[in-house]
């Protein structure tokens, strides 16, 4: 699942006079992933830019720092998740996570035959400390919500 969800696009941009790339960019299908890469690059004091088209770019000489930041995010990004029971529970989780100002995403899940198998709620983590905190936070999520004509109740 991680391999499918984390399909990577590595781009070498702006070639120099001798055909050497001036910049290396990494793009994933998640704004939170880009923010995680930027977070780790900032921690390591590596100059970078977040592209308006999505992705994070560094000067070619910092390509190894970009790869290391990607490894650090990969180690934690997918760790905290819960399969949602139905549309009602999804709405309750979205309302809760938005109210709590959490980094989250909801995505489709497929079974081994690539048939739709539900929706997954992800709390995005950039470090092992965040994984632990997000696991505790997920225990507070409104699991088992019920929907009425008036809205969601927990």
Domain boundaries of the chain, sorted by first residue: 2-74, 80-153
Which two structure tokens, joined as six digits, stand for 151? 């809205």
Task: Kindly give the interhelix angle for 63-74 and 31-43, rounded to the nearest 10 degrees.
Answer: 120
pLDDT value at position 127? 93
Nearest to 11 by CA among 54, 75, 46: 54
Q: What residues have CB less than 8 Å from 80, skipping those under 6 apart?
A: 122, 123, 124, 125, 131, 134, 135, 138
pLDDT recorded at residue 4: 34
Q: What is the pLDDT along the chain (154 residues), one digit of tens a residue?
A: 343 333 344 444 444 445 666 999 998 878 789 999 999 999 999 999 998 888 999 999 999 999 999 999 999 998 999 999 999 999 999 999 999 999 999 999 999 999 999 999 999 999 999 999 999 999 999 877 777 766 656 5
The three-state secondary structure class of 84 is: strand
The pLDDT of residue 41 is 97
pTM confidence score: 0.73
Give the span between the Cα atoms of 94 and 91, in whole angstroms: 5
Fold of 2-74: Alpha-Beta Plaits (3.30.70)
Give the pLDDT confidence score for residue 30 in this predicted structure. Answer: 81
Residue 121 neighbours by CB under 8 Å, 6+ apart = 81, 82, 83, 84, 90, 93, 97, 104, 106, 141
**Residue that is written with structure tokens 């549309």 in the block:** 87
Residue 115 backbone dihedrals phi, psi, to 5 degrees: -90, 145
Q: What 3-state class would DSSP assign to 144? A: coil
Q: What is the model's pLDDT at position 12?
A: 41
Q: Residue 144: what pLDDT?
A: 77
């Amino acid at each position: 699942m991680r391999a499918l969800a984390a399909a990577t696009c590595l781009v070498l941009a702006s070639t120099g006079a001798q055909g050497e790339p001036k910049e290396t960019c990494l793009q994933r299908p998640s704004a939170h992933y880009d923010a995680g890469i930027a977070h780790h690059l900032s921690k390591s004091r590596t100059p970078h830019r977040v592209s308006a088209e999505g992705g994070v770019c560094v000067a070619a000489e910092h390509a190894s720092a970009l790869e290391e930041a990607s490894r650090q995010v990969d180690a934690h990004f997918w760790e905290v998740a819960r399969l949602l029971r139905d549309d009602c529970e999804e709405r309750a989780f979205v309302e809760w996570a938005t109210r709590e100002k959490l980094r989250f995403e909801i995505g489709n899940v497929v079974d081994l035959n690539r048939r739709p198998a539900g929706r997954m709620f992800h709390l995005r983590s950039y470090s092992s400390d965040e994984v632990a905190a997000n696991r505790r936070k997920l225990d507070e999520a409104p699991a088992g919500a019920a929907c009425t004509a008036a809205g969601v109740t927990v």
